[in-house]
Structure 1
Amino acid sequence: MKRTIIAFACALLAGPALAQSLGEKTGVNSALGVAPTTADFVKEVAVSDMFEIESSKLAEQKGTAQEKPFARQMVTDHTKTSGELKDLVGNGKVQATVPTTLDSSHQSKLDKLKNANGKDFSSDYASYQVSAHEDAVSLFERYAKGGDSAELKDWAGKTLPALRHHLDMAKELGKAPSVGQTK
């Protein structure tokens, strides 16, 4: 009985420590409010920026009158943050690798957008934007509070207000009337 209690106590105490080693994709870190590792943070930011840029380029072509200015701002702002991240990693202050391709999850969302039109495109684009910016705000908040690179923590904190503004704007995308949209 003592062994069972000891094993259970060890498992409870190890839980938070083990959660820190899990990748961001599991969602465990986010649920527990655990800061991502520098490598996970850099990877998630780079993939998120690539998705924002590519999906918003599609919205510039296929989107509604409401979506196009939002999409232009996403392309501009996320191109800027991508450059800043690459500069932080490239100058040697941050030890991480910046991915150059989307992961399978983001690629499948992008493929779905490429094949969608009209209301289907608008619905998916708005939904993806809200979800992506909710994830980004969480990621940046957690890293700004508990990340292990001072330069990235500072950058994450400075970038947060723009991401929160993007989230607010994304939540407004689906609220406008869909006049003139075709399927």
Structure 2
Amino acid sequence: MKNSILSLLVVAALVACKKSETTTMDTAGDSTAITTPNDSAALNTDSTVMPSDSTSAGTGKTTGTNLSTQDKKFADAAARGGIMEVQMGHLASTNASNAAVKSLGAMMVKDHSKANDELKQWASAVGYTLPTGLDADKQKKYDDLKAKKGVDFDRAYTDLMVSDHKKDIAEFKEEASKGSEASLKAFAGKTVPTLEHHLMESEKAKSAVK
């Protein structure tokens, strides 16, 4: 009897020990399934994307909002001046009596229309809004010229073309040397020879008017 009881106790002890080991292994297995550290690492990886996105937005490119005062002043004056040259050139083609003056007007329309388009392309590229009409002073010059006919028109028009182009050349040279925005400076510099040619032709036409 004693041996039977001892045998039963040993078997019971062995069963209890195996059950304890099984519980410990299950618990360990469950704990290894927890992936919180990996998840948090993934979150940290995602969060590092934000700084690179935000820094890519800053290109350092000049825009219409950070142009220098010189650039804005020049662009506005060049836009208004170009509009006036085209409008007065059209007047010359109808109101002038001298062939040289008519030819001068046609050249002004062609060359200044091209320059105006280039200036508009620049403004679009940098996001700057150019004037689309004449200021009060240029509007008065246009209205006064429009009222003239024949020789009176020829004299008035050629006088204006000489004086205006002298002023334009000075302004374009100033922008080419003192401007801040590279593409606008380049536009001003390459347009100077055209303006100098206009001045020369204007002086010739003025001399041809009797």
TM-score computed with the length of structure 2 as normaliser: 0.65
Q: Higher helix share goes to which structure?
A: 2
Q: Distance in 2 between matches of 1:36 and 1:116?
A: 37
Q: Structure 1 residue 36: deviation in Å?
A: 6.7
Q: 1:130 aligns with which of 145, 162, 182?
A: 162
Overall identity of the aligned pairs, in %: 34
Counterpart in 2 of 1:90?
Answer: 124
**Structure 1: runs of 5 or more not aligned:** 1-34, 179-183
Aligned mate of 1:42, from 71, 75, 78: 75
Aligned to 2:188: 156
What is the CA–CA distance in structure 2 between the aligned matches of 1:172 and 1:131, rounded to whole Å? 13
Output one character per residue of 1:138-178: Cα deviation in whole Å (capped at 9) or x when no partner. 00000001101111111111111111110111111210153
Does the alignment pair 1:59 with 2:99? no
Q: Aligned partners of 1:67 and 1:111: how far apart in 2?
A: 18
- 5 Å-filtered alignment, 1:70-149, equals 70-92=104-126, 96-149=128-181
CA distance in structure 2 between the aligned counterparts of 1:68 and 1:62, rounded to whole angstroms: 8
| Alpha-carbon separation, structure 1, partners of 2:117 and 2:178 | 23
Distance in 1 (CA, whole Å) between partners of 2:174 and 2:195 is 14
Q: After superposition, what is the alpha-carbon deviation per residue over 1:84-138, rounded to whole angstroms, capped at 9, x for unaligned? A: 000001012xx53210110111100100111111221111101110111111100
Post-superposition, which runs of at least 4 consecutive aligned residues in structure 1 deviate over 2 A? none
Distance 1:67 1:36, change over 3 A: farther
Maintained 8 Å contact 1:53/1:78: yes
Q: Is the 8 Å Cα contact of residues 154 and 209 (structure 2) preserved in structure 1?
A: no
Q: How well do the aligned residues superpose, as a CA RMSD in angstroms?
A: 1.4
Cα distance in 2 for partners of 1:73, 1:52 equals 10
Contact between 1:41 and 1:143, CA under 8 Å: does it hold in 2? yes
- Who wins on radius of gyration, i.e. which is larger? 2
Number of matched pairs: 142
Mapped to 2, the partners of 1:83 and 1:177 lie a distance apart of 31
